A and B are shown apart, each in its own frame.
Chain A
Amino acid sequence: AQTVTQSQPEMSVQEAETVTLSCTYDTSESDYYLFWYKQPPSRQMILVIRQEAYKQQNATENRFSVNFQKAAKSFSLKISDSQLGDAAMYFCAYRSGEAGKSTFGDGTTLTVKP
């Protein structure tokens, strides 16, 4: 079974600064996806960024980028120029390419200080 570990229960960052959230995973599969989801106080799960395992290039979405180290099974999220609206719980998730099931980490609560 796949596991996803987020070792930072809480992180804080100053507005306009950069922060990196860590995620490691364990799998024996070669075909999979990795995701970061954001959950603000509204509870809605919002996709932040995705990475296909077969792609070597790290995904980037505006201020959000990932550092995907496949051999190390590491998938960190970097948020640049942090904004107050980035404050939320962030979940790292693994999705099997075959079965379609997704496994989530326990989340990292990000606080943005003005």
Chain B
Amino acid sequence: NAGVTQTPKFRVLKTGQSMTLLCAQDMNHEYMYWYRQDPGMGLRLIHYSVGEGTTAKGEVPDGYNVSRLKKQNFLLGLESAAPSQTSVYFCASSPIRLVNDTGELFFGEGSRLTVL
């Protein structure tokens, strides 16, 4: 039961470096999301996708890009990392709305990113 898998789990970057976080889900979910969690705060939505090939901005999209080339994968990219992007990043997925949709988000285990 893999569910939602995020890689890498930990990463340390220098300011200005780029990196990509990969999220993979094996539940055939349509919706996928990227959140960030900062100390003392809840999860804030960065970007999300309602299906393969589509993405949309969330609350805090600046400095991030995403791609959903395959239904099961949702990539989060940082082109030029800044210390303000030090955070824990969570990927989540959920099925498209159906009669019996529980509405629940299924989360990955999080990725801790530190930008020096």
Residue numbers of A with Cβ under 8 A of B are 4, 6, 9, 33, 35, 42-45, 47, 50, 52, 91, 93, 95, 97-107
How many angstroms from the CA of A44 to the CA of B37 in the assembled complex?
12
**Cβ contacts under 8 Å, B102 to chain A:** 50
By the criterion of a CB under 8 Å from any partner CB, how many residues of chain B are at the interface? 25
Task: Determine whether the beta carbon of A44 is less than 8 Å from that of B42.
Answer: no
Contact of B62 with A by CB under 8 A:
no
Task: Determine whether the beta carbon of A95 is less than 8 Å from that of B103.
Answer: yes
For B104, give the chain A residue with the smallest CB separation: A47
Given contacts A43-B88, A106-B40, contact A35 B45 (CB under 8 A): no
How near does chain B come to A57, taking the closest CB pair, in angstroms?
Answer: 16
What would be 11 A-B contacts, judged by CB atoms less than 8 Å apart? A35-B104, A35-B105, A45-B90, A50-B103, A95-B105, A97-B97, A100-B31, A100-B48, A100-B50, A100-B97, A106-B42
Contact of B107 with A by CB under 8 A:
yes
